[in-house]
Amino acid sequence: MPSKKLHQETEKYRKAWEKYVATGLVADPTMRKIIIASWRRSRAYGVDPHSTSLEIELTGERFQQRREAFKPILDIALPFMESIYNAVGESGMIISFSDANGYILERIGADNVFSELQRFRGMNLSEERMGTNAIALALKKGMALQVIGAEHFNVVFHNKTTSAAPIKDIDGNILGVLSVSGTCETVHPHTLGMVLASALAIEHEIRLKQINDDLTIANEHLDAIMQSISEGIITVNDAGVITDSNLHARKVMRRSLDELVGKTLDQVIKNPVFDFITQLSANEEREVQYYANGRKKTLLVSSKPIYAQDKTLKEYLLIFRETKRVYSQVNKLFGSKAIYTFDDILGESKEIQDAIRMAKLVSATDATILLHGESGTGKEMFAQGIHNASQRKNHSFVFINCGAIPRDLVASELFGYVEGAFTSARKGGNPGKFELADGGTLFLDEIGDMPLDTQANLLRVLETKEVVRVGGNEVIPVDVRVIAATHKDLAAEVEKGNFRSDLFYRLNVMPIKTPSLRERREDIKKLINRFYSQFVNRDDQRLLIDESFYLQMMQYDWPGNVRELQNVMQLVTNIVGEGEYLSSKHLPIYVKDALGASSQLPQQISGELTRVSPLSVVERQAILKALDAADNNLAKAAKLLEIGRSTLYRKIEKYDIKL
């Protein structure tokens, strides 16, 4: 603007300002409406137009904290401010950045300019504090503009001209203001255009940074998700070269990222698999054999093509899972589960406690175990207890009854089969129990019924820890702990030629005998109480059981052991009346018949007895009779029994006698 015209304009603004300050009226119709509106707001705010005291509101730590909060924006704005200063700095300009509240956080300029504004940083130039100025109007109106001389509401700025432009984020919110100030004589109309262009450039950089930050966060989130996935993920280009992998893939492959990236998939797997993997249809998985540190493992692999925006193939995403992890999870959800622990095996007799003690001892090893005992003695509970007490407790527990499977199918059930192995073979083949139990425990119940030819294959697997599926030739390594069980005398079966001697000696590393119920009659009462509580169908769980019931149940031989006792308790609790005590009359007929004359109470020690009662039963019955005769007087009862009172107390507690 020519100096003569500028002088005329500033003089006009000065006269209009003086008139407004004195009267509150604007006489010059050529004054800009935006300036007049700002003057009126400034007057309403109570801003003193004559004040020359410019207060610095933010100082010290408060200023540093606010400046630190705007550091990301200032880091972007400062290079542009320096560029402006390099272009106009010699003319005495000051370039400033203020935040969205009007606080000046940064300035670049000569110290001899604006002598009254030497301490420029920390000043608040909002309209509410300083009245009309370019920074205040840029914040208020969200637009770029220039304020000249006496257009400022405060007299201290009347010899200054300021050009200011707001800086906005991607959503249009004002982040701050970029401004250039100088004396009226040094400011050119093009200054505003330069400030506006710089403000737009800063906005562009801020938006780019925000987009890049968002992308960085998104990538970090994606990477965190990929690394935490319990499945292996590898990306390969269309030539089969690995471009990336997640943590689980590197763990399974036992290689670092640098050892994988740049290698072909076939080199890493040591098997030509890339071509057929990339041809898999959606949701289709194939088994792949690979070698890690000289050990062969099996993977289930699926693939998904990834395309660029132009629809060209970019790479393949390969997802693989270790078969033993898959089988373990399937078994936990749908297969056999080890739900029992040693705490679930009831009994305080020496026989059962010795068996439990031995089972706990061998749980810490990986030795093959042979459980032998009559049917119904709880061999499977022992097997599950051993599994749950071992280091394999978080892996599969797989059960197979060798006597319940047709002889010609035992091998395929144990070792699996390949596609086409026999007429009804499933497409793609099927894993056997050994593969399903990989990493865990395989329980072979009734192993004495296993066919001889299958026994030979089982021995080979136990020795080599490798499985070959029926009809196949691929060797599959397995890590399985075997627990076998039988009710037969395997040594006698070996003599008869029904069981291989070499397999017998291989299985009989840690033999454990599960005692029959007649060998531990003192545990029968505890088992009765447990099953009664389990089967009784009422809210009141009191034990309504007569002593006659306990006595006769303890006299019976229980050929079916605990399983038979459980079935009997389920029967009698269903037929007993509401509030009625279980007594000898509720016993099943076959139990009464087996007991014969000895079932009559009270039992007399005579030559007519068909059996001898256990000493514990006789002793408990004698204590009950003595207490009844003494009317529950413990001193008299002890005298009748010819024992000390402390001994009587101990035996009452032992036999759980209620007074």
Contact between 377 and 421 under an 8 Å Cβ cutoff? The reply is no
According to DSSP, the residues that pair with 430 across neighbouring strands are 417
CATH number of the domain enclosing 550: 1.10.10.60
Write out the two tokens for 557.
């031989």
With 70 as the cut, is the pLDDT of residue 332 above it?
no
Query: Are residues 147 and 235 located together in one domain of the fold?
Result: no
Query: Are residues 173 and 275 located together in one domain of the fold?
Result: no
Query: Are residues 463 and 405 located together in one domain of the fold?
Result: yes
Q: Give tens-digit pLDDT for 72-117.
A: 999 999 999 999 888 876 677 889 999 999 999 999 876 544 444 4
- pLDDT grade for 5, boundaries at 50, 70 and 90: low
Query: Are residues 545 and 594 located together in one domain of the fold?
Result: yes
Higher pLDDT, 542 or 506: 506
Query: Are residues 91 and 187 located together in one domain of the fold?
Result: yes
CATH number of the domain enclosing 289: 3.30.450.20
Q: Give tens-digit pLDDT for 500-526.
A: 999 999 999 889 999 999 999 999 999
- What per-residue confidence (pLDDT) applies to 423? 67
DSSP letters, 482-530, are EEEEESS-HHHHHHHTSS-HHHHHHHTTEEEE---GGGGGGGHHHHHHH
Coil, helix or strand at residue 174:
strand
Quote the Cα angle for 461-369-362, to 5°.
125
Write out the two tokens for 305.
């093509």
Match 């070996």 to its residue by tokens. 494
Sign of the C-alpha dihedral computed for residues 206, 209, 213 and 215 taken in this order: positive
Q: What is the mean pLDDT of the chain?
A: 85
Question: How many helices and strands in the chain, by DSSP H and E?
Answer: 26, 17
CA dist., res. 403 & res. 397, Å (int) = 19
- What per-residue confidence (pLDDT) applies to 116? 44
CATH number of the domain enclosing 465: 3.40.50.300
Query: Tell me, what DSSP letter sits at residue 123?
Result: B
Lowest mean pLDDT among 137-146, 345-354, 586-595, 619-628: 619-628
- What per-residue confidence (pLDDT) applies to 307? 86
Query: Are residues 37 and 161 located together in one domain of the fold?
Result: yes
CATH number of the domain enclosing 31: 3.30.450.40
Q: Give tens-digit pLDDT for 153-187.
A: 999 999 899 999 999 998 899 999 999 998 887 76
With 60 as the cut, is the pLDDT of residue 556 above it?
yes
CA dist., res. 319 & res. 245, Å (int) = 10
Q: Domain for residue 533, yes or no? A: no
- What per-residue confidence (pLDDT) applies to 35? 95
Number of domains present in the structure of the chain: 4
Instruction: State mean pLDDT over 645-652.
Output: 80
Beta strands in 100-201 (DSSP E): 104-109, 145-148, 160-168, 174-183
Characterize 448-465 residue by residue with b for buried, 16 or more Cβ atoms within 10 angstroms of its Cβ, and e for exposed. Answer: bbbeeebbebbbebeeee
- pLDDT grade for 600, boundaries at 50, 70 and 90: very low
Instruction: Name residues whose C-beta falls within 8 Å of residue 436's C-beta, 6 or more positions apart in sequence.
Output: 327, 330, 331, 335, 396, 398
CA dist., res. 619 & res. 459, Å (int) = 51
Contact between 89 and 22 under an 8 Å Cβ cutoff? The reply is no
Coil, helix or strand at residue 309:
coil
Q: Domain for residue 324, yes or no? A: no
Query: Are residues 452 and 343 located together in one domain of the fold?
Result: yes
pTM comes to 0.54
Range of the domain at 634: 539-654
Query: Are residues 503 and 600 located together in one domain of the fold?
Result: no
Q: Domain for residue 339, yes or no? A: yes
Q: Select from 497, 513, 529 the last residue of a domain.
A: 513
At residue 463, what are phi and psi to the nearest 5 degrees? -80, -45
Instruction: State mean pLDDT over 417-431.
Output: 75
CA dist., res. 617 & res. 552, Å (int) = 10
Classify residue 631 as left (phi > 0), alpha (psi -120 to 50) or beta. Answer: left
DSSP letters, 324-343, are HHHHHHHHHHHS------GG
Query: Are residues 368 and 500 located together in one domain of the fold?
Result: yes
Q: Domain for residue 236, yes or no? A: yes
Q: Domain for residue 224, yes or no? A: no
CA dist., res. 233 & res. 245, Å (int) = 6
Higher pLDDT, 546 or 9: 546
Q: Domain for residue 314, yes or no? A: yes
Q: Which percentage of the chain shows pLDDT scores above 90?
A: 42
Query: Are residues 183 and 234 located together in one domain of the fold?
Result: no
CA dist., res. 608 & res. 598, Å (int) = 9
What does each C-alpha distance from 476 to 232, 291, 295, 483 come to in angstroms? 20, 11, 10, 21
CA 226 to centroid of chain Cα atoms: 14
In what helix (H) or strand (E) does residue 97 lie, and over which residues does it extend? strand 94-99
Q: Select from 269, 286, 318 the last residue of a domain.
A: 318
CA dist., res. 223 & res. 126, Å (int) = 45
Query: Are residues 508 and 644 located together in one domain of the fold?
Result: no
Nearest Cα neighbor of 130 from 53, 33, 26 is: 53
- What per-residue confidence (pLDDT) applies to 574? 85
Q: Domain for residue 214, yes or no? A: no
With 60 as the cut, is the pLDDT of residue 602 above it?
no
- What per-residue confidence (pLDDT) applies to 79? 94
Q: At residue 624, what is the residue type?
A: L
- pLDDT grade for 610, boundaries at 50, 70 and 90: very low
Q: Is the peptide bond before 602 cis (omega within 30 degrees of 0)?
A: yes
Match 């009664």 to its residue by tokens. 532
Contact between 576 and 539 under an 8 Å Cβ cutoff? The reply is no
CB atoms closer than 10 angstroms to residue 187: 25
Query: Are residues 301 and 235 located together in one domain of the fold?
Result: yes
Lowest mean pLDDT among 233-247, 471-485, 625-639: 625-639
Q: Domain for residue 522, yes or no? A: no
